[in-house]
Structure 1
């Protein structure tokens, strides 16, 4: 009888091993991180809409605004992921027999679980919003001849084919799509070819009734404007992509550290030395006049 009880005790200890993954704290922390991130991003988008222009030349936004937006994106990610990691570490059930190192490692792993699930939820949410936006945009639901350059160079295409008189019910979708593809080549290393430039001048003259010199000046002006718009859009896209990648990577660090801090608060243990030092510095700055 005693031998059977001794053989059963190791099995009980293995069932409560510190490597056991608890999904409830992970899911709760991921939901908390996603919810806070959505709120902070909504505030950021509201501020952005208030300071940016609603004109078609919105691409003229400065690089400083793009950089500030990227910094805000990184900071909100650190705060949101930090909250999710802290929640997971705080509510996780720790193992009494585990050492301090094993407990802290398990809390950090749960923080990484929060980070992974929150990233997946954010991607799914962004995909749903993008699909809903595309399905509600008439230009995106148009025929197969819709230009890939239309969302970016729609204003330039309007300027290119602007005419004082035009017969009613004239469909220029095919011409706009072709001109948009040609304008996209202005950002290539070789630039707009002479043949494409001549073809655009002929198309503009035929569809708008402008004389050859006027059509040539309009094409040159639109080509320069399109090249500038593509360059600025590419710059903003690079800054945004770099900011998103940096925010996600720093979010992993934030969730690990916050989960460890939440676990120490759960167990009543003191914070690590680097956390205690930064917290003391922050309190000292708050007390100083």
Structure 2
């Protein structure tokens, strides 16, 4: 029994006290990846600004901009993670008396750690920008459900003083030349009109009683006939509904763009993790091959 125990003790290799993680090449690779990310991010921002113009006829569509941004995110992750992982693999210390499979695993782990460290640094540097991107999608979703009505309300009656375009359009006199110089056609009627329009924007429609009252109020304040006043009311209500629909479409477009950007951002991170791990394996193998020569 003593001989068997001694032979077993000789066949079991002693446990190494050295860590399997080399942080120096990981940090170096992560810094390189962060630098590449910042450079490519600035380049992408410049290219993105060339697609946007204050003139609607010269600006790219929202879908085109969002797709281009998503593709650029993947490119940024691909290049930065690849360079960082490769440098980590080339700069790591050669592992002696380590099985080939273990070397492969350690290189993969080092590449993944390099990508993770670089991602954390980038998030810390660009955290506010990323929060703005995600927040834009959340805010857009909120706008679609409730805020779009508020946008329409602001256009339909944003003050009880009657300063909004729609309120002024409803209470515009038929012939301003016939009004006294000190006449104030909006007074408290504007507040009533704004309240009706705001309630209709929130509820989704204006009741027949409110429409009738608006017609009567417009006829009394503008000198129009009942039929002309009703035509004006119908026209303004249609314009208000169109404004609300445009606000909802814009909010929905922003929500979809934010959601797509978040999904593509997740995909780009996963691609970056994979590329970083593979690049570290390639760099490590090349270093071992060069060492052997």
Aligned residues: 228
Give the conservation status (yes or no) of the 8 Å contact 1:82–1:258.
yes
Give the TM-score normalised by the residue count of structure 2: 0.61
Q: In the alignment, what sits opposite 1:121?
A: 121
Q: In the alignment, what sits opposite 1:193?
A: 204
1:238-280, CA deviations, whole angstroms, 9 ceiling, x for partnerless residues?
221121011000111100110001101211269xxxxxxxxxx
Q: Secondary structure at the match of 1:194?
A: coil
Q: Secondary structure at the match of 1:54?
A: coil
Give the conservation status (yes or no) of the 8 Å contact 1:59–1:233.
no
Q: How does 1:239-254 map to 2 (within 5 A)?
A: 239-254=260-275
1:149-191, CA deviations, whole angstroms, 9 ceiling, x for partnerless residues?
5xx97986764446378xxxxxxxxx9xxx7xx97x8xxxxxx
- 1:14 pairs, out of 5, 13, 16, with 16
* Unpaired segments ≥5 residues, structure 1: 1-5, 134-147, 166-174, 186-191, 271-289
Task: Give the drift of 1:235.
Answer: 2.1
Q: In the alignment, what sits opposite 1:163?
A: 164
Task: Give the drift of 1:221.
Answer: 1.9
Alignment partners' CA distance in 2, 1:132 and 1:224:
25
Alignment partners' CA distance in 1, 2:276 and 2:41:
19
Give the conservation status (yes or no) of the 8 Å contact 2:51–2:65.
no
Q: Secondary structure at the match of 1:268?
A: helix
Give the conservation status (yes or no) of the 8 Å contact 2:151–2:247.
no
Alignment partners' CA distance in 1, 2:68 and 2:131:
27
- Name the CA shift for 1:42/1:118 in 2 (closer, same or farther; >3 Å): same
Task: Give the drift of 1:60.
Answer: 7.6
Q: In the alignment, what sits opposite 1:265?
A: 286
1:14-44, CA deviations, whole angstroms, 9 ceiling, x for partnerless residues?
024xx61122222221121121111111111
Q: How does 1:40-79 map to 2 (within 5 A)?
A: 40-54=40-54, 61-79=61-79
Q: How does 1:1-289 map to 2 (within 5 A)?
A: 14-16=16-18, 20-54=20-54, 61-129=61-129, 149=143, 159-160=155-156, 161=158, 163=164, 193-194=204-205, 212-213=233-234, 215-268=236-289
Alignment partners' CA distance in 2, 1:68 and 1:129:
17
Q: Secondary structure at the match of 1:103?
A: helix
Alignment partners' CA distance in 2, 1:157 and 1:60:
29
1:72-107, CA deviations, whole angstroms, 9 ceiling, x for partnerless residues?
211121111111111111111121111222112111
Alignment partners' CA distance in 1, 2:153 and 2:104:
59
Give the conservation status (yes or no) of the 8 Å contact 2:70–2:261.
yes
Give the TM-score normalised by the residue count of structure 1: 0.62
- Name the CA shift for 1:227/1:131 in 2 (closer, same or farther; >3 Å): closer
Q: In the alignment, what sits opposite 1:282?
A: none
